[in-house]
């Protein structure tokens, strides 16, 4: 099956979407921060990014979820900066400190083709939100050069529904985090005061576009929603409420990676409640809750 951007859209459709997204940069409302700055002349918004793409690296990635990795890896492109400011970010040198190199739209298109030529099963865009206009422009070029593997939108979950609607039939696989089920903690630990309100609407929109994760006979996905949820110490992520939302408002067939790898990183040591790893009991409690709700895909028990 062809990716949706080839099956359902023409080159002219992609160009039109890229223009609409580019227009958003003049008074930027690409994401829910709605900084409303002219990114063509400033990088003073929440994401600290202008119009020039910055990436910190790319290549086949074998540490992602199995349906993305397959045999030949997920073709991952790491974008520098972020529209959130998580105090415990493990990739803080990229997201907070801006480590990376400038990359033109044409170069980004060539990277996509290079990853495909290397056998990668998909193009995995990590933290793409603030550069999505430029990414779609690059996709136009890449398609003209023969790109034909699925696009993965790998994000923190703080997304504008209006922007996501412009990505319908462009993105094949959405992979958002759901970090918190409480706006207070989103504000305190990630500087987004409406995270829980926003992420529910965003994930619902994603699901409406791609549905449950479809996995082919070879074990690799080509379409659907995959949610990540990192269990935090002291129930700061509000895991039960997150899982209930997924079960009741998204789908019992949702593929969800419940993650146990939290460790204090970056500025987490400044917060007593974040300054330890999670316990085994905390992680098992999260798995027990998922199982009790009937969720059964993506996590190992």
Reported as a single tens digit per residue, the pLDDT across 155-186 is 999 999 999 999 999 999 999 999 999 999 99
Give the per-residue pLDDT at 300.
80
Give the per-residue pLDDT at 1.
82
Written as six digits, the tokens of 88 are 């415990």
Give the per-residue pLDDT at 172.
98
Give the per-residue pLDDT at 201.
98
Are the C-beta atoms of 79 and 108 separated by less than 8 Å? no
* 5 confidence band (pLDDT: 50, 70, 90): very high
Q: Check whether 197 has a pLDDT greater than 80.
A: yes
Give the per-residue pLDDT at 182.
97
Give the per-residue pLDDT at 301.
72
SS3 (DSSP) at 291: helix
Give the sign of the dihedral formed by CA 264, CA 180, CA 222, CA 31. Answer: negative
- Average pLDDT score over residue span 194-210: 98
Give the per-residue pLDDT at 220.
98
Q: Catalogue all structural domains in the chain, each as residue range(s) with its CATH number.
A: 4-292 (3.20.20.70)
Give the per-residue pLDDT at 232.
98
Give the per-residue pLDDT at 99.
97
* 37 confidence band (pLDDT: 50, 70, 90): very high
Percent of the chain's residues with pLDDT above 90: 99
- Average pLDDT score over residue span 277-299: 98
DSSP annotation string for 167-224: TTTT-SEEEEB---S-HHHHHHHHS-TTHHHHHHHHHHHHHHHH-BPEE-TTS-EEEE
Residues 174, 179, 181, 249: what is their CA dihedral angle, to the nearest 10 degrees? 20
């Amino acid at each position: 099956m062809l990716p949706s951007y080839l099956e359902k859209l023409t080159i002219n459709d992609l160009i039109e979407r890229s223009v609409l997204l580019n227009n958003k940069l003049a008074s930027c409302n690409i994401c829910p921060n709605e900084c409303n700055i002219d990114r063509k002349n400033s990088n003073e918004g929440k994401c600290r990014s202008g119009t020039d793409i910055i990436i910190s690296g790319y290549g086949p990635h074998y540490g992602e979820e199995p349906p993305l990795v397959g045999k030949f890896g997920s073709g991952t492109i790491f974008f520098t900066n972020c529209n959130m400011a998580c105090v415990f970010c493990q990739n803080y040198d990229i997201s907070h400190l801006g480590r990376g190199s400038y990359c033109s739209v044409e170069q980004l298109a060539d990277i996509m083709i290079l990853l495909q030529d290397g056998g990668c099963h998909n193009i995995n865009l990590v933290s793409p939100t603030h550069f999505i206009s430029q990414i779609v422009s690059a996709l136009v070029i890449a398609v003209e050069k023969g790109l034909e593997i699925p696009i993965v939108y790998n994000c923190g979950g703080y997304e504008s529904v209006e922007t996501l609607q412009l990505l319908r039939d462009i993105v094949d696989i959405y992979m958002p985090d759901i970090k918190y089920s409480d706006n207070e903690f989103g504000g305190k630990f990630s500087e987004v005061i409406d995270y829980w309100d926003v992420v529910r609407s965003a994930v619902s929109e994603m699901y409406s576009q791609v549905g449950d994760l479809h996995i082919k006979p070879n074990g690799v996905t080509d379409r659907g929603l995959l949610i990540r949820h990192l269990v935090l110490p002291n129930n700061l992520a509000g895991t039960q409420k997150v899982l209930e939302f997924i079960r009741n408002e998204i789908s019992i067939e949702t593929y969800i990676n419940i993650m146990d790898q939290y460790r204090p990183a970056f500025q987490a040591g400044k917060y007593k409640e974040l300054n330890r790893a999670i316990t085994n009991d905390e992680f098992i409690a999260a798995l027990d809750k998922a199982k009790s709700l009937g969720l059964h895909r993506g996590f190992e028990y």
